[in-house]
């Protein structure tokens, strides 16, 4: 049981890291990855990069 939880905790880092590299929240995507790993990975891969906000002034 503890081993399974550890594995889930580790593999949830994958979608979180991908999403973070595209400008999204690591923590939210980590939680999403823990709950729905099979959905989170392709979703993270298909994410568009978040545009950088530039000051107009």
7-47 tens-digit pLDDT = 999 999 999 999 999 999 999 999 999 999 999 999 999 99
- Predicted pLDDT of residue 52: 79
Say if CB 31 and CB 48 are below 8 A apart: no
- Predicted pLDDT of residue 19: 95
User: What's the pTM value of the predicted model, to 2 decimals?
Assistant: 0.82
Domain layout of the chain by residue ranges: 1-25
DSSP H helices, 13-54, are 13-21, 26-35, 37-46
Residue that has been written with the tokens 């002034």 in this structure: 57
CA distance 6 to 11: 9
């Amino acid at each position: 049981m503890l081993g399974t939880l550890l594995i889930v905790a580790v593999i949830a880092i994958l979608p979180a890291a991908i999403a973070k590299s595209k400008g999204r929240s690591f923590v939210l995507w980590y939680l999403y990855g823990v709950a729905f790993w099979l959905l989170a990975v392709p979703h993270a891969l298909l994410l568009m990069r978040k545009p950088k906000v530039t000051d107009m002034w």
